[in-house]
Amino acid sequence: MENFVWDPAQYAHFAGHRARPFVDLTNAVQLDAPQLVFDMGCGPGNMTVTLADRWPQANITGYDASAEMIADAEQLVASRDDNAWANVSFGQQEAGSWTPPADTDVIVSNAMFQWIPNHINIISGWLKTLKPGAWFAMQVPGNSVARSHQYIGELASEERFSLAKDSAYTGETVHSVEDYTHMLLEHGFRPNVWETTYHQVLSGPDPVYDWVKGAALRPVLQKLQEHDDAHATNLHDAFVTRYKAEMVAAYPPYIGPDGQEVTVYPFRRIFVVGHKELDYFI
């Protein structure tokens, strides 16, 4: 996947729905008073700061590869004038070139590793480094078989849009729950691995497009827009028109008894939580 520029505002547009998996993930970390916590792929930091409420005595660091996301995260902390998040800091960091400090207690990663093809190797390196008693918790989307995601690749494969084909998100980097379970076991972690499908109720015009353009669609749309800017074409808008029409057909709106139109958008996610126990042997 080539590099692209994140839009923190668009990503945060569905902050409530995106927050639910983070809460479910971190609730599975059964540790009362960690001292050193890392949130890898922290995005705009809105969920990282919630860890300060749970673990006020911890030193919490959020890392993200996106300079735009880190800028928003730092601004978020600076906006508080009561020093409530004084134990939270942020920095720009690629996951593949980071090594956890030896005294790390918790690593959390929410919806990042689907963008990294070799993430099993990266995580395995972290798990080897972590001390007994440490926790690792990650969540990745498992929605690549959904029409909202499959159609990105189908549409980008058409001759007209083929310049963006290599940018299309396929979800092929996400592994099975069995693979993630075995990964934890191999490194002496007691695994807690599960999958959940959230049936998200979205509102507004073209809500599925609005959701997907914040993440999975972003690389393709950026590639098309860059081509349009350079060659005075209109591929971006043509792609969006086709995509929106397909999403309305795939996820038809529901009109409730109050007359309000909403769309139910199922979204599957995979959760991988492990505890490196002193007395746990495979």
Please write the tens of the pLDDT for every residue from 39-52. Answer: 999 999 999 999 99
Rounded to 10°, the helix 218-231/235-250 angle is 150
Q: Tell me what the pLDDT averaged over the chain comes to.
A: 92
Q: What is the mean pLDDT of residues 206-211?
A: 95
| CB atoms closer than 10 angstroms to residue 96 | 12
Q: How far is CA 155 from CA 118, 148, 159, 217, 279, in A?
A: 26, 11, 9, 11, 51
Residue 23 pLDDT exceeds 80? yes
CA distances from 265 to 57, 103, 185, 206, 218 (A): 38, 41, 33, 12, 19
| pLDDT reported for residue 259 | 87
Query: Alpha helix locations (H) across 28-146?
Result: 50-54, 67-78, 119-129
- Please compute Rg for the chain using Cα positions: 20
Q: How sure is the predictor about 277, in pLDDT bands with cuts at 50, 70 and 90? A: confident
Res 228: pLDDT: 96
Residue 237 backbone dihedrals phi, psi, to 5 degrees: -70, -35
Query: Comparing C-alpha atoms, which of 240, 250, 249, 241 is closest to residue 220?
Result: 240
In whole angstroms, how far apart are CA 225 and each of 12, 165, 168, 245, 263? 21, 14, 14, 20, 28
* CA nearest to 134, candidates 10, 267, 38: 38
Statement: residue 4 has pLDDT above 90: no
Residue 31, judged by CB atoms within 10 A of its CB (0-12, 13-18, 19+), counts as middle
Predicted confidence band at 5 (pLDDT cuts at 50, 70, 90)?
low
Name the H helices within 28-118. Answer: 50-54, 67-78
- pLDDT-wise least confident of 14-18, 194-198, 209-213: 14-18
pLDDT digits (tens, 9 = 90+) for 117-149: 999 999 999 999 999 999 999 999 999 999 999
pTM of the model: 0.88
